[in-house]
Amino acid sequence: MGNVQPINLYVNGCSWTDGDTMDLAGLTKNGTGRNYSYPTLVANKFKYNLIDESRYGGSINRIIRMCWEYIMTNNILNTIFILEIPNGFRDEIYSNKIGRYFNITSGNLYNSYDTTEDNAEWYDIKKDVINSYFNFCNFDEFDKKEYINLMGLISYIQKYTNKIYLIQPYDIIDKYNAYTKLLNDSNIIKLSDNTFKSNEYKLIENMCKYEKLSLGDELNNGIEDTHPGIEGHKKLSEIIIKHLLKHAINII
């Protein structure tokens, strides 16, 4: 029994997963939002060791990079992976000048008021970054490469374990047909519950909006914010727990 290793729950995604979003909105006290987030609730339920690398504004490319970094230094056989797949154009870029990665979204490329990266370092490099994307990024080619890299990561993980689960992946997995047999129903966590008005939601934002589980509903301040609130994260955790109990019996 002394050699039994704790199970790691590795979670990555963007603001639909990141509990800090509740802090930023003022729903929870600063620094406590992740205590209410679905990664924490799922990990607590099964007594998993949680590695939650989600962050608002995060991209698929960020998830891919960080997953590989995790795999390089951890036991993949003892890990459950839950990846919430961001939608829309997103990327990350490394600044040699600053010495770190920055999150890129369509918001901070097009909207001067976007706060995906709201810091002095970003404003120092912002003009160069925007010029670089518009001069050198073909967005169709970007989508194709992003898809191949994500499916390549999943393919590698599945060589060792099938304990990889995706949330809201449809926007990317339906684009191309290169990996049609890679994923099955056990790998996709469906946003479905017998209390819902709809049979299944494709996106977390729609689930939270139409089931009144959003930050906007809980703040009740007249501002529509469809990110999950405390009840939204609780419902997500219930859906995930039910899925894991059905599909990951031998690792629970």
Where exactly are the structural domains of the chain? 8-90+163-251
Q: Is residue 3 very low, low, confident or very high in pLDDT (cuts 50, 70, 90)? A: low
Of 177, 204, 17, residue with least CA distance to 9: 17
Q: What is the mean pLDDT of residues 80-92?
A: 96
Of 185, 184, 179, residue with least CA distance to 153: 179
Q: Give pTM, 2 decimals.
A: 0.95
Given a cut of 90, whether residue 24 has pLDDT beyond it is yes
CATH of 8-90+163-251, one of 3.40.50, 3.30.70, 1.20.120, 2.40.128: 3.40.50
Query: Which H or E element spans position 11?
Result: strand 8-12
Given a cut of 60, whether residue 243 has pLDDT beyond it is yes
Given a cut of 60, whether residue 2 has pLDDT beyond it is no
Tell how far CA 53 is from the center of its chain: 9
Could you report the per-residue pLDDT of 146-190, keeping only the tens digit for each?
999 999 999 999 999 999 999 999 988 888 877 888 999 999 999
Given the DSSP bridges, would you call strands 8-12 and 49-52 parallel, antiparallel or unpaired? parallel
Q: Is residue 1 very low, low, confident or very high in pLDDT (cuts 50, 70, 90)? A: very low
